[in-house]
Amino acid sequence: MTLLPRSLQGRLLILVLCVVTGVWAATAAMTWRDVRHELDELLDSHLAQAAALLVVQQAGEVGDGHEAADVPTLHRYAPKVAFQVFHEERLALRSPNAPDLPMAGGKSFSPGFATVKIEGIAWRVFAAQGAERDVQVYVSERVDSRASILWAVLRSTLWPMLLALPLLALVSWWAVYRGVAPLRKLGGSLAKRQPQALQPVVVAGAPSEMVPLVDALNGLFDRIARMIESERRFTADAAHELRTPIAAIRTQAQVALGESDDALRRHALESTLQGCDRATRLVEQLLTLSRLEAGAAPALVSLDLAALVRQVIAEAAPQAMRCQQTIEVEAAAHCLVQGDPILLAVLVRNLVDNATRYSPQGATVRISVAEREGRVVLLRIEDSGSGMKSGDIEHLGERFFRVLGTGQGGSGLGWSIVRRIAALHQASIQVRKSTGLGGLTAEIEFPAQLIGQYPVSPQHA
C-alpha cells in the first residue's frame, strides 16, 4: 500500500506523525522558553555579581597613574566572557578580549543590563559603577555562549524524540499494515472470485470492525444467489409452460395428418384447437403480467367493487355452469374502493377462474364483497374444491408455479397477476383453507376508502 491520502494506512500514518510531531514541537518550545528564562536569570546574576566584585575591588586598588592592564587568560573559556574597568573614564583593567572603548554600544554609561554588538558579535553586558561614580565596570558575556548552553540542554532532551519519530512512523506503518491485512485479504479474495461464485466470504481473524462489512457482503451474495435462482427457475418454468402447449399442438396436428379414421382425426383436430386456446391464454397472461411489472402505477378512481364483481361473475358463470358448478355472490349494494376498474376486473376474473378451474364438477364457488369495520373492503373467494397444501400455498404467486397433477392446463401466472394487481392497490391477500366450503379461501382486503368521493361504474369487466 502506498501513502496516498486516500489510503487508510496513509491517513493513519500522517495523523499519527502529525500529532507526535506537534507534541514534540510544543515540548521543545516550552523547554526552550523555560530553560532560556532560567539560564538568563542565572547568568545575569553571575554577571551582576562579578561586576559588583570588580567595583568593590577596584575602589580599593585603583590608584592614579596606573596604566591600563590586561588580565591574563586563565581558562580556555575565558574568551567567552569579558570585562572592563574604567577609572575616571580611563580604562584601568580589562580582560584580553575586551575592547578599549566601553562596552556600551557607543552610548553613554547607563547601569544595568544591555545587549550590544561589538565587532559584529552580540554581548550581554552588565554595567555598574562605584559609589563615587569614578569607577565604571562592564562585565559581559557572549550571547552565543548562552545559546549554545540552551542548545546543549535542548539537544539532550530533543534528540531521543527526533530519533523516535522515524521509528514511530515505521512502527505505526507496520501496525496499520498488519491491522488492515484482513481488508486486503478480503479484497484479494473478492478480486479472484468468479461471477457465478456466490458462496459466503470467510475472512479468518477479521477484526470486529470488519464483521458488519463481511456480513453485509455475504447478505448481498445471498440475495443475489436467491435472485439468480429465482430467475433460473423462471426461465426453466417459462420454457416448460411455453413449450408444452406448442408440443401438444404440433403432436395433435401431426396425428390428425396421419389419421385415416374420421372420428380420431376430428378428435386430434379439436385437441389442436384446444392447445391453441391454451397457448393464447398463456400468452395473454404473460403479456398482462409483463405490462403490470413494467407499467407505472395506475390511476386509481373510486369504484363500486360489488358491481364490478357481479359483472365479472356474469361472464364467468356460463363456463362454471357447464361443469355443473354453483357460483354464489354475496355483495352489498355498494362497496367503494379506490382502484383501476380494468385491473380489478382482471384480478377478480383470475381468482374466479382459479376457483372454478381447480374445483371438481358440481362444486360450489362463493364470492362475497363486504365492507368491514374501519371501512375496509373485503373480497372473499371460496370454493369447495380439494384445496391446497400449506406448502403449496406459500408458492402461490411465484411465476409459473402450478400444483402438478391437477390435470388442468392453467398458465401458472394467475396468482402472480393477482398479487401484482393487489400490490398496486395496496390490498393485502390471505389464502387459507376454507372453513365453510372445505376448499380454498382467498381474501383480498382493500384499504379504507376516502370519504367524500363519488363512485364511477366499472367501464370494463
Q: Which residues bind other proteins (CB under 8 A)?
A: 235-236, 239-252, 254-255, 258-259, 264, 267-268, 271, 274-275, 278, 403-407, 409
E-assigned strands of 119-199? 121-129, 135-142
125 within 8 A of 139, measured Cβ to Cβ: yes
User: What is the closest distance, in whole angstroms, from the C-beta atom of residue 326 to other proteins in the complex?
Assistant: 25
Nearer CB in complex with other proteins: 241/340: 241
Residues across the chain: 461
Q: Dump the DSSP string for 391-433.
A: HHHHHTTSTT---TTS-----S-HHHHHHHHHHHTT-EEEEEE
Angle between the 414-424 and 262-294 helix axes, to the nearest 10 degrees? 30
Nearer CB in complex with other proteins: 253/300: 253
Nearer CB in complex with other proteins: 79/258: 258
User: What is the closest distance, in whole angstroms, from the C-beta atom of residue 430 to other proteins in the complex?
Assistant: 26
Nearer CB in complex with other proteins: 274/319: 274
User: What is the closest distance, in whole angstroms, from the C-beta atom of residue 288 to other proteins in the complex?
Assistant: 22
Nearest-angstrom CA–CA distance, 147 and 262: 126
Q: For residue 136, what are the β-bridge partners?
A: 86, 129
Nearest-angstrom CA–CA distance, 206 and 214: 9
User: What is the closest distance, in whole angstroms, from the C-beta atom of residue 319 to other proteins in the complex?
Assistant: 18
130 within 8 A of 111, measured Cβ to Cβ: no
User: What is the closest distance, in whole angstroms, from the C-beta atom of residue 3 to other proteins in the complex?
Assistant: 49
Q: Which DSSP category does 78 fall into?
A: G
User: What is the closest distance, in whole angstroms, from the C-beta atom of residue 346 to other proteins in the complex?
Assistant: 25
Nearer CB in complex with other proteins: 158/246: 246
Q: For residue 443, what are the β-bridge partners?
A: 380, 430
Nearer CB in complex with other proteins: 93/249: 249
State how beta strands 376-383 and 440-446 pair: antiparallel
Nearest-angstrom CA–CA distance, 400 and 388: 16
Strand (E) or helix (H) holding 196: none
Nearest-angstrom CA–CA distance, 84 and 107: 15
Nearer CB in complex with other proteins: 242/423: 242
User: What is the closest distance, in whole angstroms, from the C-beta atom of residue 265 to other proteins in the complex?
Assistant: 10
Long-range interactions of 70-78: CB distance < 8 A, separation 24+: 70/94, 70/95, 70/96, 71/95, 71/96, 72/96
Nearer CB in complex with other proteins: 251/386: 251
User: What is the closest distance, in whole angstroms, from the C-beta atom of residue 222 to other proteins in the complex?
Assistant: 21
User: Cell numbers 435462482 label which residue?
Assistant: 229
